[in-house]
């Protein structure tokens, strides 16, 4: 599975300029403005603003949203025509602390470094406010299916797989319902931004799907990231609506 953010080349080119980003931010905060207002606010010449507005219009980010024809010279107001995602600077101190704790969990650098790398990506995503839960869950499903094909111990194999990111794992089966309890989850125990186990939930679902031949869905009902003593996942066969179409 290849994950990517598909940004059109013209949009990427338009955004790859500090002045154009300042214009977009100004229009986001103030709403439609004339070329003269933008130039005055940013301390730029009108010719410079005209050039950047032209590039932003080509990219479909900005356009003339209204005109005032009552003045001696028509006044054109430029505004945003695409809603932009605003990303704030990550809370670096919190992210560093979380990654440092991930490093401290293992004495062996060959084990602790992969944990720290995973922790870094997760901490930055969470601190930016990026909601990647659905993608992480679907990715976990694919990982779980592949891991199940390599295991021959059934549910014991699931315990062994998850033990690599936890102090202990217990898997219980009650009919078709499977409960997974994870003590000392290394993925979210110290994360300062709340629950962060959709990847693990997806792994549980994918593993059981491959193991049983039936589509499973898994939900995290308790999470160390929210202050619980353990992470608990409950998995059950998917309903007819959730099953993929043949």
Quick one: pLDDT at residue 204?
Answer: 95
Q: Which residues, 6+ apart, have CB-to-CB distance to 224 below 8 Å?
A: 184, 185, 188, 189, 230, 231
What is the phi/psi pair of residue 110, to 5°?
-65, -20
* End-to-end alpha carbon distance in the chain: 20
Q: Give the residue ranges of the chain where pLDDT is below 70.
A: 1-9, 12, 71, 82-132, 186-196, 225, 240-246
Q: Tell me the three state secondary structure of residue 161.
A: helix
Q: What is the pLDDT of residues 154-192, one digit of tens each?
A: 899 899 888 877 888 999 999 999 999 998 876 666 554
Quick one: pLDDT at residue 120?
Answer: 67
| Distance (Å, whole) CA 191 – CA 211 | 31
| Distance (Å, whole) CA 155 – CA 183 | 17
pTM of the model as a whole: 0.55
Q: What is the pLDDT of residues 9-21, one digit of tens each?
A: 677 677 778 899 8
Quick one: pLDDT at residue 123?
Answer: 63
| Distance (Å, whole) CA 14 – CA 57 | 9
């Amino acid at each position: 599975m290849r994950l990517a953010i598909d940004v059109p080349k013209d949009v990427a080119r338009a955004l790859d300029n500090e002045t154009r980003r300042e214009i977009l931010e100004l229009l986001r905060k103030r709403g439609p403005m004339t070329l003269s207002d933008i130039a005055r606010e940013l301390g730029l010449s009108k010719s410079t603003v005209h050039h950047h507005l032209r590039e932003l219009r080509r990219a479909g980010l900005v356009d003339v949203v209204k005109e005032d024809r009552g003045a001696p010279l028509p006044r054109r107001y430029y505004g945003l025509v695409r809603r932009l995602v605003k990303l704030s600077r990550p809370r670096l101190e919190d992210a560093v602390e979380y990654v440092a704790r991930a490093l401290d969990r293992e004495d062996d650098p060959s084990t602790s470094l992969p944990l720290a790398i995973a922790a870094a990506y997760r901490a930055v995503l969470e601190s930016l406010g990026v909601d990647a839960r659905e993608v992480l869950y679907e990715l976990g499903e694919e990982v779980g299916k592949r891991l199940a094909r390599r295991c021959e111990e059934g549910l014991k194999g699931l315990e062994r797989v998850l033990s690599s990111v936890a102090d202990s794992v217990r898997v219980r089966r009650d009919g078709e319902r499977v409960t997974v309890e994870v003590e000392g989850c290394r993925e979210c125990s110290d994360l300062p931004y709340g629950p962060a186990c959709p990847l693990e939930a997806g792994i549980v679902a994918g593993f059981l799907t491959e193991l049983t031949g039936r589509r499973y869905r898994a939900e995290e009902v308790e999470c160390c990231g929210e202050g619980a003593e353990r992470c608990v996942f409950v998995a059950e066969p998917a309903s007819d609506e959730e099953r993929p179409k043949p």
